[in-house]
Amino acid sequence: MSHHIIQVNNLKYKYPDGREALNGVTFRITHGESIGIVGANGAGKSTLLMHLVGVLFPDEGEISVGDVPVTKKTLPVIRQRVGMVFQEPDDQLFMTTVYDDVAFGPRNYKLPEEEVEKRVKSSLDTVGILHLKDRPPYKLSGGEKRAAAIATVLAMNPDILVMDEPTSALDPKSRRRLIMLLQSFTHTKIIATHDMDMVFELCERTIILQDGKVITDGPTAKILSNVELMEECGLELPLGLQGCPVCGTK
Amino acid sequence: MSHHIIQVNNLKYKYPDGREALNGVTFRITHGESIGIVGANGAGKSTLLMHLVGVLFPDEGEISVGDVPVTKKTLPVIRQRVGMVFQEPDDQLFMTTVYDDVAFGPRNYKLPEEEVEKRVKSSLDTVGILHLKDRPPYKLSGGEKRAAAIATVLAMNPDILVMDEPTSALDPKSRRRLIMLLQSFTHTKIIATHDMDMVFELCERTIILQDGKVITDGPTAKILSNVELMEECGLELPLGLQGCPVCGTK
Amino acid sequence: MPNLVESLYNIRILDELAEKRTIIHNIHPLMKVLTTGVYLMVTVSFGKYELSGLLPLIFYPVVLITLADIPIVPIFKRVLLVLPLIIGIGLFNPLFDKNPMIVLPWIQISGGWISFFSILIKGFLTILAALILIATTGMTRIASALRIMRIPRLFIMQLLLTYRYISVLIEEVGRVVRAYSLRSPGEKGIRFSNWGSLTGQLLIRTLERAQRVYHSMCCRGFAGEYNVGREKGMGIGDIVYFVGWSLYFVIIRYFNIPAMIGSLMMGVGK
Amino acid sequence: MHMADALLSPGVGGTMWAATAGVAAYSIKKVQNDIDEQKIPLMGVMGAFVFAAQMINFTIPATGSSGHLGGGMLLAILLGPYAGFLTMASILVIQALFFADGGLLALGSNIFNLGFYTCFIAYPLIYKRIIRKGYSTGRIFTGTLLASIIGLQLGAFSVVLQTLFSGKTELPFGTFVMLMQPIHLAIGVVEGLVTAAVVGFIWKARPEIIEKAAAGEALGGISIKKVLAGLAIVAVITGGIFSWFASAYPDGLEWSMLNTSGKEELEAPDGIHQTLSSIQEKIAFLPDYSFKNQEQKVSADAPETEEAWPAVNVGTSVSGLVGGVMTLLLAAITGFSIYVIKKREKASAV
Ligand SMILES: Nc1ncnc2c1ncn2[C@@H]1O[C@H](COP(=O)(O)OP(=O)(O)OP(=O)(O)O)[C@@H](O)[C@H]1O
Ligand SMILES: Nc1ncnc2c1ncn2[C@@H]1O[C@H](COP(=O)(O)OP(=O)(O)OP(=O)(O)O)[C@@H](O)[C@H]1O
Ligand SMILES: [Mg+2]
Ligand SMILES: [Mg+2]
């Protein structure tokens, strides 16, 4: 299915105040790949992801999803294919109940109400917050909001899943549940995160960003275990790879 | 110094909509202790911390910091002693530049401007964002905001440090830097987090909350390595303790 | 500032009430909007000296409040907050209009007082009607009613976004004020010199946040229309609701029922 | 300065609804032409901001009363007049619904009073003229301050007119004007200062927002003459409708005149008026006094009363009183029984 190929070409983006957040980013992601995007704070991860769903548009370079270039005109098509979880769950929850919020997307595609209900329930169940369905989102705890935000995107059944720090604020069990879920999701997924352990478990390929540029792009196992490289990019080995308290290796 | 003792007695709190977030929490923290508060999403961690600085007031039970009960009247004293980093960094940044934001607290204590500058610079340096000092806080990336929020509290030189998920959104290196910093901070610190590895490294004592109640309260090494207990509370062993790829232990 | 947080709280109370599922809540929003319209028109169309004729209008709020499970206290609090405005202007009537209107053996009541009470009752009823409408319907369903009434989409979207952002903004104000007070112990309120940067800051931040919210809506297929899933079609019951109430209002308007009851009673008494 | 439903007659309320709907429809058309994605959230946020600002009451120095911001000028400057007017409309809709501030019938008046004069008169005629020479902190300040004050004065005067034409209050015109205008002058100054400060801040932080709003608007190009001519037409039409409604029954202005002159009705202007009012009497459900209602009938029968206009004898007064009490009792009983029945149903359901 060619429409799952994502091509990013020499992407440059400057925020209106002159901050150069992306400085020529190029990569190509093929169908079914699972990509971890890592990098220090301010490296440009969120900025990059926002380009993939057309929230920001590049100053230079181009992006295409499938064979469709991401432009203002093609937004409806793009957004139907790509589901994105933003870094800030508060930005993503805008209805009066969690249920309505998760149902918002499916309803926009005019699905019959039974189908909507099925989708809402299953997504809420997947992230483990079905019991919160009738509560207003602004009254949830930080992690509950995060889970709800993820559910809103799952309910849309996107072909490509883009997530900005999906595990932050989640408790370890919910994090584990999310990782399992993502493992079972066979479509393309792109995950920006500081959770190296998740990348290690989940993504076969990793892209390291630094100062708006791609520093490395390759197999996760190789990259994430390269102490020097990681150190250089303001990162660390996954915790699971660091000194083991049992055998004492470093 | 008795004023660093924190005593929480049978604390109960119900949100205005009737949600019982705390259900009789009791503990005592003595001077210089380093406490990790862990628990599943929605367990009541943030609610508990907000009581410690008098953002919320208990429906039942009482809290005292040193020998001062936390009430509306004693707020100025309490807040001078206790510095809190909120879960949401956005809430904590309200001035036009990062510098002014960090300087806000010290300036309120009428410190001479050189002293203010020294404090601001050293706190910004500690969290690694000195280079961002002249930027407006709302234009920072998620992790940069988090770092700035931590700096604002450090600059106040509090006797007691209360932090709600301080490492979330931080990149691994900043996280490491924060942990080192906290290790060198000899006063009392209370940290609510999902980062079990940090708790394992940093806190000699751990309190597990579940559904607004204290489930366990004891030495970290014992609690965090108890697979069954952790499982039961919606948690997991620290990643560093889970299967070691070198020695293969589980 | 407490004013602000309080108002947010009020919005939320009404929001939550609108989430209930009672007979009244289930009536089609369009019919509820129209019924409210007729009610308001009839209420204000009463002449300024017609006091008794107004009274049967009170059945409408009474029936709705009880059927829709609306708690009385918060609603009445709101009414009491708004009434002083009306009283302020209405109170001039007794001052300027001193013609005796009701002449009883032991007391004479001037036209000014009658018209004052008439304004007061009308104020009470109209305020109540608006609050009941929102508390049983909710903003999104009112929006869908407006859409059926062919109000342009752009305006409805604007209305709904404004509505959403009010919570976002006020919440943010509350949290910023909290953070402020945490780092300025011993200070009451916010120092004047900081007001400017605080509001400016808030405005710009909310602005950027609003853009993010809007984008995240678009990312989920938003195309200018809020879809409220559980909206059923209009049924006979809905139309009966509208027609029934309207009939009742019109009858009240043309016949002064209390006066009839009164004279009947008096007649019996004789 | 929100008008309240209770102070409004259906005639005036309806007219203002129509006028507002007209302006809104025109604005929507204008906005739709040059809408971009950024503008929609901008309208939403600014609406929320002004909404919140309106919630903050400040005391007016030296008067002892308090007021709040209108915000129309801020909206016009940041969004342009058309989007500004629409945003003001949505703010007032929400206020009317959630706070019963103003009210649903008075909505038309309120939108008009707070939105029209600021967006379509003060903004183009004052603010834009001053700004035309180019942006500077000083010009933004004076322009914003002056436009805010004048916009609010016009709005306040409009409130006076609408209230008087509605005839629910006995306040004489002069007194009312003397009450409203000075208070709103004070509010206007505060509003002007705040608006100027906010606009100044945004101009420094995001100049493109303010310049875009002012540049993209066709209104800037239209000559003042055309605007004035248009306004004159609107004024004549509205005035005509107003006076038609106002003269359809003896109240408001006429009522006070009637009291002083003692004549039951002023000379009917001409035949048109009479046919109009007779037509109205036949079809109108809305106007105030065209109803044949019980009280009036009875009072007409009452023999010895001196006053020509409403007077009631002892009998009707008492029966009205008794009937009223009975009605209220009945209402209470109804409410209570519904409550009890529901409770029982719930109990049996459990
Ligand atoms: N609205 C904005 N205006 C100006 N600069 C911005 C804005 N948002 C982000 N930046 C800057 O752009 C750069 C990249 O930010 P981005 O949010 O993409 O980082 P990130 O990799 O997601 O970081 P984090 O891991 O902290 O989330 C940073 O230097 C940041 O300060
Ligand atoms: N403003 C609120 N109104 C009502 N209920 C709330 C509010 N904030 C939180 N709650 C509820 O109170 C409970 C405790 O929330 P709290 O934020 O303390 O959890 P937490 O332990 O910090 O969770 P997390 O790890 O997700 O941050 C949750 O069930 C949450 O849904
Ligand atoms: Mg980011
Ligand atoms: Mg929390």
pLDDT by position in tens, chain A (length 250): 455 789 999 999 998 888 899 999 999 999 889 999 999 999 999 999 999 988 889 999 999 998 899 998 888 888 888 999 988 888 888 777 899 889 988 888 888 889 999 999 999 998 889 999 888 887 888 889 999 999 999 998 898 999 999 998 899 988 998 899 888 888 899 999 999 999 999 999 999 999 999 999 999 999 998 888 988 888 888 887 776 554 444 4
Angle at B170 between CA B166 and CA B175, to 5 degrees: 75
Task: Note whether B94 contacts C9, CB cutoff 8 Å.
Answer: no
The per-residue pLDDT for C185 is 67
Q: B91 in contact with C at a CB cutoff of 8 Å?
A: yes
Of D15-24, D72-81, D241-250, the poorest mean pLDDT is in D241-250
Residues of chain C whose C-beta is under 8 A from some C-beta in A? 12, 15-16, 18-19, 138, 140, 164, 167-168, 171, 209, 212-213, 215-223, 225, 227-230
- In chain A, what residues touch C221 (CB-CB under 8 Å)? 76, 79-80, 105, 108-109, 156
Kindly list the domain boundaries of chain C, sorted by start residue: 2-151+231-261, 165-229
ipTM entry = 0.73
The per-residue pLDDT for D262 is 36
The per-residue pLDDT for D248 is 38
Tell me the pLDDT of chain B averaged across its residues.
88
Neighbour subunits, C (≥3 Cβ pairs < 8 A) = A, B, D
CA of A144 to the centre of ligand 2 (A): 8
The per-residue pLDDT for D164 is 82
Average pLDDT over residues B73-96: 85
Model confidence at D213, pLDDT cuts 50, 70, 90, reads confident
Q: B80 in contact with C at a CB cutoff of 8 Å?
A: yes
Task: Report B:106-125 residues touching C (Cβ under 8 A).
Answer: 108
CATH class held by domain D5-290+317-349 = mainly alpha
- Residue in C32, C22, C17, C7 with CA at minimum distance from that of residue C245: C32
| DSSP calls for chain C | -HHHHHHHHHHHHHHHHHT---HHHHS-HHHHHHHHHHHHHHHHHS-TT--GGGGGGGHHHHHHHHHTT--HHHHHHHHHHHHHHHHHHHTHHHHH---EEEE-SS-EEEHHHHHHHHHHHHHHHHHHHHHHHHHHH-HHHHHHHHHHTT--HHHHHHHHHHHHHHHHHHHHHHHHHHHHHHHSTT--S--HHHHHHHHHHHHHHHHHHHHHHHHHHHTTT--S----TTPPPP-HHHHHHHHHHHHHHHHHHHS-HHHHHHHHHHHHH-
Distance, CA of B164 to CA of C198 (rounded, Å):
24
Note the pLDDT tens digit of each residue in C150-193. 888 888 888 888 887 787 787 777 777 777 777 776 666 666 66
Kindly list the distances between the CA atom of residue A95 and the CA atoms of A175, C171, C206, D91, in Å, as whole numbers in the listed order. Answer: 25, 15, 17, 19
Helix (H, G, I), strand (E, B) or coil at D347: helix
The per-residue pLDDT for D1 is 56
Q: What are the residues whose beta carbons fall under 8 Å from the beta carbon of D110, sequence distance 6 or more?
A: D2, D3, D92, D96, D102
Instruction: Look at residue B232 and tell me whether its pLDDT is greater than 70.
Output: yes
CA of B57 to the centre of ligand 2 (A): 15
CA of A44 to the centre of ligand 3 (A): 7
Instruction: Look at residue B249 and tell me whether its pLDDT is greater than 50.
Output: no
The per-residue pLDDT for B216 is 93
The per-residue pLDDT for C225 is 62
The per-residue pLDDT for D4 is 77
Instruction: Look at residue D261 and tell me whether its pLDDT is greater than 50.
Output: no
Distance from CA of B172 to the nearest CA of C (A): 27
Nearest to B141 among A41, A235, A246 (CB): A41
- In chain D, what residues touch C205 (CB-CB under 8 Å)? none
Residue list, ligand 1 pocket, CB within 6 Å:
A 15, 17, 19, 21, 39, 41-47, 87; B 139-144, 169, 171
Note the pLDDT tens digit of each residue in B167-204. 988 999 889 988 988 888 888 999 999 999 999 999 99
Percentage of chain C surpassing pLDDT 70? 84
The per-residue pLDDT for B124 is 93
Higher pLDDT, D91 or D320: D91
Task: Copy the structure tokens of residue B13.
Answer: 């709190």
Instruction: Look at residue D252 and tell me whether its pLDDT is greater than 50.
Output: no
The per-residue pLDDT for C14 is 83
Residue owning the nearest CA to atom 2 of ligand 2:
A139
Helix (H, G, I), strand (E, B) or coil at D216: coil
The per-residue pLDDT for A196 is 92
CA of B146 to the centre of ligand 3 (A): 11
Note the pLDDT tens digit of each residue in B96-116. 889 988 998 888 888 899 999
B73 touches ligand 2 (CB under 6 Å): no
Nearest to C220 among A88, A97, A104 (CB): A104
Task: Report D:9-38 residues touching A (Cβ under 8 A).
Answer: 37
Average pLDDT over residues D220-232: 50
Model confidence at D38, pLDDT cuts 50, 70, 90, reads low
For residue C215, count other CB atoms closer than 10 A to its CB.
23
Task: Note whether A42 contacts B174, CB cutoff 8 Å.
Answer: no
Neighbour subunits, A (≥3 Cβ pairs < 8 A) = B, C, D
Nearest to C183 among B77, B96, B108 (CB): B108
Instruction: Look at residue B5 and tell me whether its pLDDT is greater than 50.
Output: yes
Distance, CA of A117 to CA of A123 (rounded, Å):
10
Q: What is the DSSP letter of B219?
A: E
Percentage of chain D surpassing pLDDT 70? 63
Q: What is the DSSP letter of D266?
A: P
Average pLDDT over residues D27-35: 79
Distance from CA of D68 to the nearest CA of A (A): 28
Of B29-33, C83-87, C252-256, the poorest mean pLDDT is in C83-87
**Among A118-127, D28-37, D284-293, which range has the highest average pLDDT?**
A118-127
CA of B125 to the centre of ligand 3 (A): 21
Nearest to A170 among B19, B194, B249 (CB): B194
Distance, CA of B174 to CA of C79 (rounded, Å):
53
**Among C84-93, C136-145, D85-94, D127-136, which range has the highest average pLDDT?**
D85-94
Average pLDDT over residues D284-296: 36
Model confidence at C229, pLDDT cuts 50, 70, 90, reads low
Helix (H, G, I), strand (E, B) or coil at B38: strand
The per-residue pLDDT for B8 is 94
Nearest to A246 among B142, B196, B244 (CB): B244
